[in-house]
Chain A
């Protein structure tokens, strides 16, 4: 694995000047994933409708240095799998040369919800495709509506905190585990690069490993959205760190069915450290909602224990 200096020297494949919000995590995720490509590898990127898509490719401009396609919200995986199938056919017929990697990017809405069918289909069919979900836990682009990735208790515009209902009523779907159940060669859960942590290169390492494996791969990346999380842009990586340290978002990978937890916090922090800095959970800290925080803690603990068991950590 190259060092930071070497990585900094790698050419940037998503240029600046795109129109993502200041502090958005998505371009960070894209850049670190694309850094893991070798210099002689070209990429074909399928992008689901969402923040990343509308902000990086406004006609007549594009921020993408690789071939990029957007067709609709629910089908980045299917669109990418079609391009990958064409690559195989054209390569076999000797019409094209060069090394291409196929990547799909989608937010949690386009991945957990409307896009899950086409994602599942593409993974099951075994396309040589890496699907990267940047999970910021809501439909941020359309005005912060709840998705099935939205954490329990979050205040969103379609799960608002009101007099009777304190935010989202359900726990988040565990899509990483759904993807593990596809028995594909590689599934990983990670976060953007956070300087000074032991897992600063976790995203890069996982992307690099994914690209070295032929077949379908899935990566789920918790990605900050200061708008939707109602947090200070400058502190968002601290919030992500809290997600890891509270075990709300464990860093792990499943290679050919074998679980490996990449980071086990020395001291598991209480879930309040993840909830507190985010305005979307502010209402949970009212005395009458204490029981909800307790429920969230219990669910995080339950999922973490299960993961430790699956990874055979004593």
Chain B
């Protein structure tokens, strides 16, 4: 029997980790993700899990130890944020290319400089091409649900890739929400037992991992890695369908909110979707045809599916909680607009960089985006690149 609980996002993730009971958790503290290893080490200290907790001296070593543990054949998890993720950078690529499945909870936080501890997506957006699957979460419930599904997705034989589960720092990581938690036994059954594969360091037969790969093989290995990411799309949907049977909660690549007849839509990631839904409900009450696409799966990027979902809108605003300093829009904007080409042509497509470094995003901000979109539809005049909620 699932139970209703009140937990912060970090607590929900830590409790999820407890239920998964991984073999190794290696972590280094960084705000606002610190609570995850903190709660988890208490579970270890109390004997509530039989995990080896490795309190490493840096995030670089956290990721290195996780790769070593996963290569050995263990089920492995960790958590980090911001500069911690940046310090893992080199190893993110190694973990993905070595095809070591593991789950990394990231509480999204701005990257230096200047140093800032609050939420935006500059950390994980920067890691978007590291070869990791990326799942984003609007709420503590979604962070918990994504964490459990991530284990199955990454370990699937056709995927064998590490997975990031992202949720907004402080907004989701620290705010207490009501959510539904599965029974320990159901989680155990859902994630299953990780058996040490013969092609692991401890698999019985000796194996060499992480060789020097010269031009005659490297490209093929990268191509296989890319194929695994393509395979992940089906696996993500399969795992979501099975999870829905267990919980009644439906997950896909993205959530469509009131998109059936929407003329103006926004595309957004993580907690801002909650604010946007509130605004949509209000605007709908005034008869305005507005909708939302909330991205859950950013890697692999569901390009065609998103484009199809935007086929009937007149105008769309893509919201980036990270700048890319390309002078040509944020990362999500570039991906969505590119996805629309040839599938959803002739639309008004705009970009809003918002909420950097924890700048509050209010319903008034979101209303402005919709109002801009309607004005663009009426007049045909609009700015493509916009900054929302910044003092100019």
> B81 an interface residue at 8 Å Cβ cutoff?
no
Q: Which of B24, B195, B212 interacts with A85 by CB under 8 Å?
A: B24
> Can you list 9 residue pairs at the A/B interface with Cβ under 8 Å?
A58-B212, A59-B211, A62-B208, A65-B206, A68-B206, A81-B54, A81-B68, A85-B26, A96-B202
Q: Tell me the B residues contacting A by CB distance below 8 Å.
A: 23-24, 26, 50-52, 54-58, 60-61, 64-74, 76, 90-91, 94, 98, 195-196, 201-202, 204, 206-214, 217
Establish whether residues A86 and B72, one from each chain, have CB atoms under 8 Å apart when the complex forms.
yes
Establish whether residues A71 and B24, one from each chain, have CB atoms under 8 Å apart when the complex forms.
no
The verdict on A71 contacting B50 (CB below 8 Å), with A87-B202, A95-B195, A118-B57 known, is no
Establish whether residues B71 and A69, one from each chain, have CB atoms under 8 Å apart when the complex forms.
yes
How far does the alpha carbon of A117 sit from the alpha carbon of B28 in the complex, in Å? Answer: 14
> A82 an interface residue at 8 Å Cβ cutoff?
yes
Interface string of A49-78 (1 = CB under 8 A from B): 000011001111010111111111011001
> A136 an interface residue at 8 Å Cβ cutoff?
no
> A120 an interface residue at 8 Å Cβ cutoff?
yes
Give the Cβ gap from B108 to chain A, nearest Cβ, in Å: 25
> A83 an interface residue at 8 Å Cβ cutoff?
yes
How far does the alpha carbon of A293 sit from the alpha carbon of B90 in the complex, in Å? Answer: 42
Establish whether residues B73 and A71, one from each chain, have CB atoms under 8 Å apart when the complex forms.
no
Residue total for A at the interface (Cβ-Cβ under 8 A): 47
Please give, as numbers and ranges, the residues of chain B lying within 8 Å of A62 by CB-CB distance. 208, 211
Q: Which of A42, A64, A69, A121 interacts with B68 by CB under 8 Å?
A: A69
Give the Cβ gap from B56 to chain A, nearest Cβ, in Å: 6
Name the CB-closest residue of B to A74. Answer: B60
The verdict on A86 contacting B73 (CB below 8 Å), with A54-B212, A72-B64 known, is yes
> A92 an interface residue at 8 Å Cβ cutoff?
yes
Establish whether residues A85 and B73, one from each chain, have CB atoms under 8 Å apart when the complex forms.
no
Establish whether residues B213 and A59, one from each chain, have CB atoms under 8 Å apart when the complex forms.
yes
> A79 an interface residue at 8 Å Cβ cutoff?
yes
How far does the alpha carbon of A124 sit from the alpha carbon of B55 in the complex, in Å? Answer: 11
Please give, as numbers and ranges, the residues of chain A lying within 8 Å of B52 by CB-CB distance. 85-86, 88-89
Give the Cβ gap from B68 to chain A, nearest Cβ, in Å: 3
Establish whether residues B217 and A59, one from each chain, have CB atoms under 8 Å apart when the complex forms.
yes
Give the Cβ gap from A262 to chain B, nearest Cβ, in Å: 31
How far does the alpha carbon of A200 sit from the alpha carbon of B205 in the complex, in Å? Answer: 33
Establish whether residues A82 and B202, one from each chain, have CB atoms under 8 Å apart when the complex forms.
no
Q: Which of A46, A54, A86, A121 interacts with B76 by CB under 8 Å?
A: A86
How far does the alpha carbon of A81 sit from the alpha carbon of B66 in the complex, in Å? Answer: 9
Name the CB-closest residue of A to B25. Answer: A85
